[in-house]
Structure 1
Amino acid sequence: MLLYVEVDCKIYDAHSLKEKRHILKRLLHQLKRLNISVSELDHQDLWQRTLLGLVTVANSHVPCERVIDQAIQLLDRDPRVECLNIDREWYE
C-alpha cells in the first residue's frame, strides 16, 4: 500500500522567502524523522504558502494511516503553520 498526501499550508511567521525556507527546513527535517518522504511541491515563489507532498509505504492501510496522521499532527501543533487543505490518495 502507498499513501500519498498533499497538504496545502499557510505559513504565518514567514515575511520573506528566506524565512519561509528556514521554517520549511526545520519542518521537513522533523517530518522525515517519521520515516516518510516529503517535499515541497508548489508555491515556492510565495513566502506564506506551501504545498507539501507526503508519501509512505507499508503492507496495509493501518500503518500508512498512522504515520501520515502523526505527520499531520506535527504540522497542526506548529503555531507557524496552518493546514488549509489535505488530500489523500491510495495506491495498491
Structure 2
Amino acid sequence: MIIGSCSVDLSLEGVFSLKEKRQIVKSIINRIQSRFNVSIAEIDAQDKWQYSVLGFCCVSNDTAHANSIISKVINFIENDGRVVVIDYSVEII
C-alpha cells in the first residue's frame, strides 16, 4: 500500500473576510473531492483571511499513480484563479 500526502500553502489575494475565504476554500475542497477522490481538508491558518493550508492524501498500489494524482490536484489548484500556490510539500509513504 502506497500513501501519498501533500500540504499546500495558499494565498487568497483580494479576500477581506473569513466568510469569503471559507466560501472559496470550501468550493475548492468540494471540487477536488468529487473530481480526484482524495481526502482533503484545511489543516492550518483557519483564522487568517488571506492565507490557507490544505492537506490531502491518496492511497494507491503504485508510487507512480500516487505521484500522478498528487500532481493533478496541485495543477488543478494552481489553475484556479481565486488562489495562488505559495508552496507545497509531498510525501510518499
TM-score range (shorter-chain normalised) is over 0.9
Aligned to 1:72: 74
Which aligned segments of 4 or more residues in structure 1 are displaced greater than 4 angstroms?
A: none
Aligned to 2:58: 56
The normalised TM-score by structure 2 is 0.93
Q: Deviations over 1:15-42 (max 9, x none)?
A: 1000001001110011102110001010
Aligned to 2:20: 19
User: Aligned partners of 1:75, 1:61: CA distance in 2, in Å?
Assistant: 21
Structure 2 residue runs without a partner (length 5+): none
Q: 1:14: how far off?
A: 1.8
User: Aligned partners of 2:82, 2:27: CA distance in 1, in Å?
Assistant: 12
Letter in 2 for 1:31: I
Aligned to 1:7: 8
User: Aligned partners of 1:14, 1:30: CA distance in 2, in Å?
Assistant: 20
Residue identity over aligned pairs, in percent, reads 31
| 1:32 pairs with 2:24 | no
SS of 1:38 mapped into structure 2: strand
Q: Deviations over 1:32-86 (max 9, x none)?
A: 0211000101000001100110100100111111111111111111111111111
User: Aligned partners of 1:74, 1:43: CA distance in 2, in Å?
Assistant: 21
CA RMSD of aligned residues (A): 0.8
The farther-off stretch of 42-51 and 6-15 is: 6-15
The normalised TM-score by structure 1 is 0.94
